[in-house]
Amino acid sequence: MRDSRSLFLELRGLRYHVRHWPGQSDRRIFLLHGWMDVSASFQFMVDAMDAGWDLYAPDWRGFGLTAWGPSDSYAFTDYVADLDQLLEHLQPEAPVNLVGHSLGGNAAAMYAGTRPERVARLVNLEGFGMGRTQPEQAPARLRRFLDELRAPPRLRAYPNFSALADRLQKNNPRLNRARAEFLAEHWGQLSGDGEVHLRSDPAHKMVNATLSRVEEWRAFWQAIEAPVLWVDAADSATPVQLKISPEEMADRRQAYRQLRHVTVQNAGHMLHHDQPEMVAALIEEFLS
């Protein structure tokens, strides 16, 4: 297993944790994890990549070893603003290579459309944008947000790390025991009550107060100038959960100027866990 180092930076008033697998500075990649995940989630993929790659993976605000946000909810714009300052700190002089999974892929695409000159290449793993909404849904959405402020969501605790590993394998039957136990040690922490709690702010479970509009996502995608590798998983349940039809998914891909589309077989949404060697090979080929 390739060793990583932990860096701690002050970004936007938060103590930010960044995992670093050192390599050659001219072969640098920034890895952006998904929702309810942590930077260590990329370990299996990193182990399958050439050791020359210089890899940085932040824990998003409110996840892993990064401090929780000061507000009672989280927004995509916060992730993008954090990424902007992270890149200015670690690679201000040249365009960057971004690899993002799910939420991380969406944030990376939003950033690449906002600052196209700062992104050399983008690998989007299962970052499809959000489900389509209609304006008339806005009052009910805001009401739900206000109700959740009164009764904030909570995260389940586990009696030990083994129980958390059990849950991870239940969520993803493709995950073998060794990988489940590794992830459990990074996703959870032993608290003073003797139970294992997730390293995640429960506020991430809050519904967004405002609607996500596909038209705005398309505007970001259309503004991206960098070549994009779109990687999805053959057995992903995410499109169904977001109510995105195959036809609409194809239409979303059309918004990108330069896009290569690859579907990874025998993999679900966590494709970097299910097929890390294949995903690593796709990334290396694309960035080389």
Q: List pLDDT tens digits, range 206-218.
A: 999 999 999 999 9
At position 103, the amino acid (one-letter code) is L
- Sorted by where each begins, the domain ranges of the chain are 5-143+212-287
Q: What is the mean pLDDT of residues 67-84?
A: 94
Residue 82 has pLDDT above 90, yes or no: yes
pLDDT value at residue 175: 96
5-143+212-287 CATH: 3.40.50.1820
The whole-number average pLDDT for the span 126-150 is 96
**What pLDDT is recorded for position 30?**
98
pTM: 0.97
Question: Is the pLDDT score of 192 beyond 90?
Answer: no
Question: Mean pLDDT across the stretch 179-185?
Answer: 98
- Of the candidates 110, 81, 86, the one whose C-alpha atom is nearest the C-alpha of residue 8 is 86
Tokens of residue 8, six digits: 């701690």
d(CA 145, CA 198): 23
The pLDDT assigned to 71 comes to: 87
- The per-residue pLDDT for range 102-130, each reduced to its tens digit, is 999 999 999 999 999 999 999 999 999 99
Q: How many other β-carbons are positioned within 10 Å of the β-carbon of residue 123?
A: 27
* Six token digits for residue 124: 């989007």
In the structure, what pLDDT confidence band is assigned to residue 193 with cuts at 50, 70 and 90?
confident
pLDDT-derived band at 172 (thresholds 50, 70, 90) equals: very high
Six-digit token string for 116? 């196209």
